[in-house]
Structure 1
Amino acid sequence: MEQYMKNGTRSSTYHLIATTSWLGMGEVATKDVFDWIATEPLILVASGTIARLLNDLATHEVYTGDTASSIECYMNVYGATKEEAQMEMRKIIENCWKDINQEYLRPTVVIPREKLMAMIKLSRVAEFIYKDEDAYSFSKNKLKDIVSMVLIDPIIP
């Protein structure tokens, strides 16, 4: 399970997305900040874990058998049922949110709050996209309508 999580968070490209999202943030994107992210701090690991597990929970029924997921790994390692595995993934996600909040509230000199908040926002996006379904892979559902409402037909006060 541990090996799957290590590979799964990397293959989800979350680390890359989190890091490249900083490039347009101006002066706060210093060498020290990029050196810090290269150490894989807890907030990055927790955020990536949330994205990976939410994706697995949303796509498990759709792609069963195509590739390994955290659900199948947990079931195989611990002899658990699908429901028990899903419940455990939700507990891990909840604990990752606690880690993220703790890391955000910890005072730091090297990392500007804007960088930490960017990772929190990416985790929120993952929660939104994978809440009820895989809205990323099947974007013709609710995600398409929501993006249209925001970008094409915005409500202007």
Structure 2
Amino acid sequence: MDGLPDYLKSVVKFTFDTFQEFEREVGLELGGSYSLKATIEECKRVMRNNLKLAKWASTGHLPSFDEYLDVAGVEIAIYFTLAGILMGMENICKKEAYEWLKSRDKLVRALTEKTRLLNDMHGFEDDMSRGYVTNSINCYKKQYGVTEEEAFRKLHQMVADLDRMMNEEFLKPINVPHHVLKVLIVDTLRAVNVSYEKDDEFTRPGDHLKNCIKSMYIGL
């Protein structure tokens, strides 16, 4: 830590402290050590892919569209989020659920790709204003030689296709209890839909998201 700038020291210390708290909370539970280790591994994957994406962005590199989704899909931290949710749940089929998550099941990948595409589309103007060109729109434009308008149209269609795919996958047998899948996938998908319903309110929360959050705590 001594070689890190001060702002990163704070981030690293917060991360270490958080996982130490997790260890105290879940370490003694049945399967707790397994869930903690699995969540830490997902956190490491986010950090590695975040670094790779940052290197691409610093040079204005535009990889192929599929390669971008592979890296930026992990960087958007859905896998990490789902692992963290599992860690906080009761010990119900926990190991099987983590193994299913690590397999990068079609259902989870669809949720991840949808989140990445929505984030890129709603945050496109802001990204470009900062000179941040490495995003799904520009990668798609470069690979397929289309206009920005056409790229947006194609990505919106991809999001619709991913929604249909997730509906189809839910009807198939999965080695994870349905009430666990509801919390992991359905509830996370709801949060994604609300966050990107009108704008990139995940990055810059506006009145729409604030009112949605308030409604969960204030009686209607």
Q: Return the TM-score normalized by structure 1.
A: 0.89
The residue that corresponds to 1:33 in the other structure is 97
Cα deviations across residues 4-53 of structure 1 (Å, max 9, x unaligned)? 00001100111110122122331324212211211110011000001101
Q: Per-residue deviation at 1:80?
A: 1.1
Aligned to 1:134, which of 193, 200, 210?
200
CA contact (8 A) 2:137 2:148 kept: yes
Alignment counterpart, residue 59 of structure 1, candidates 112, 123, 126:
123
Distance 1:128 1:28 in 2: 28
1:7-156 aligned at under 5 Å gives the runs 7-64=71-128, 65-108=131-174, 110-117=175-182, 118-151=184-217, 153-155=218-220
Give the C-alpha shift of residue 119 in structure 1.
1.0
Q: CA contact under 8 A between 2:86 and 2:94: conserved in structure 1?
A: no
User: Could you tell me which amino acid in structure 1 is paired with residue 181 of structure 2?
Assistant: L
> Residues 54 and 131 of structure 1 are in contact (CA less than 8 Å); yes or no, is this contact kept in structure 2?
no
RMSD: 1.6
1:115-151, Cα deviation, whole Å (9 max, x unpaired): 3222122122112111221112211432223322332
**Which runs of 5 or more residues in structure 2 are unaligned?**
1-64
Is the contact between residue 73 and residue 112 of structure 2 (CA under 8 Å) also seen in structure 1?
yes
In structure 2, how many angstroms separate the alpha carbons of the residues matched to 1:50 and 1:149? 25
Say if 1:58 and 1:131, in contact at 8 Å, map to a contact too: no
Identity %: 22
> 3-state SS of the aligned residue for 2:87?
coil
Greater length-normalized contact order (CA 8 Å, ≥ 6 residues apart): 1
Q: For residues 54 and 133 of structure 1, what CA distance do their matches in structure 2 show?
A: 9
Is contact 1:100-1:120 (8 Å) kept?
Answer: no
Does structure 1 retain, via aligned residues, the 8 Å contact 2:78–2:112?
A: yes
* Change over 3 Å in CA distance of 1:154–1:39 after alignment to 2: same
TM-score with structure 2 length normalisation? 0.65
Query: 2 CA distance for matches of 1:80 and 1:67?
Result: 16
Gap runs ≥5 in structure 1: none
- Greater Rg by CA: 2
